[in-house]
């Protein structure tokens, strides 16, 4: 009986993840799309720091007004950072080579929207590089060689 009570206490102490609604994701993606400094997550200092913090506060108020879950701006920053990290890992895993079964990893609509804002897929799979070799659309190059023969006079300028 004691172990059941301990299990219930442990179960109550476990924090449940607060999942975001689709409407909240739409607000986050729209706000981040309009504020590219938020999207990149680049550390900022000085007066820019205050502007970034104010922008996160505005986003927090908008998103929290749209229903549960209610979070602080620090937590919404983490939600965005976690999405970026998850997206990068997923795209890197999908672009791996090395044999074995080819597994397609589909992106969710939120991840696709975040990718269009961040261009992570371009960073993971840069255009013009295939398996580490440069790839050019017009891979056939024309080479013209001038062959000098003894019959033709050389012209000097």
- For the stretch 21-47, pLDDT in tens is 899 999 999 999 998 888 887 777 777
* Residue 8 located in a structural domain: no
The answer to whether the pTM exceeds 0.75 is no
> How far is residue 22's CA from residue 110's CA, in Å, rounded to a whole number?
8
pLDDT, residue 1, reads: 61
pLDDT, residue 47, reads: 77
* Residue 9 located in a structural domain: no
* Residue 44 located in a structural domain: yes
Q: How much is the mean pLDDT over the chain?
A: 77
Distance from first CA to last CA of the chain, Å, rounded? 104
* Residue 97 located in a structural domain: yes
pLDDT, residue 140, reads: 45
124 burial type by CB count under 10 A (0-12 exposed, 13-18 middle, 19+ buried): middle
* Residue 61 located in a structural domain: yes
Q: What is the DSSP letter of 103?
A: -
Number of domains into which the chain is organized: 1
pLDDT, residue 78, reads: 94
Instruction: Pick out the chain residues at pLDDT < 70.
Output: 1-17, 128-157
Q: Structural domain of residue 103, as residue ranges? A: 14-134
* Residue 78 located in a structural domain: yes
* Residue 156 located in a structural domain: no
pLDDT, residue 142, reads: 46
* Residue 5 located in a structural domain: no
pLDDT, residue 141, reads: 45
Selection from 115, 152, 102, 92 nearest residue 33 by Cα: 115
């Amino acid at each position: 009986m004691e172990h059941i009570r301990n299990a219930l206490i442990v179960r109550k102490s476990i924090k449940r993840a607060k999942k975001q609604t689709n409407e909240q994701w739409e607000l986050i993606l729209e706000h981040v799309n309009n504020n590219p400094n938020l999207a990149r997550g680049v550390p900022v200092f000085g007066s820019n720091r205050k502007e970034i913090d104010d922008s996160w506060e505005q986003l927090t108020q908008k998103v929290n007004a749209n229903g549960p879950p209610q979070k602080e701006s620090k937590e919404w920053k983490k939600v965005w950072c976690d999405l970026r990290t998850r997206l990068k890992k997923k795209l890197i895993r999908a672009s791996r080579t090395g044999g074995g079964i080819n597994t397609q990893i589909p992106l969710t609509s939120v991840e696709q929207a975040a990718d269009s804002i961040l261009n992570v897929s371009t960073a993971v799979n840069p255009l013009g590089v295939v398996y580490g070799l440069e790839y050019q659309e017009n891979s056939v190059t024309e080479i013209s060689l001038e062959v000098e023969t003894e019959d033709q006079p050389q012209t000097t300028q």
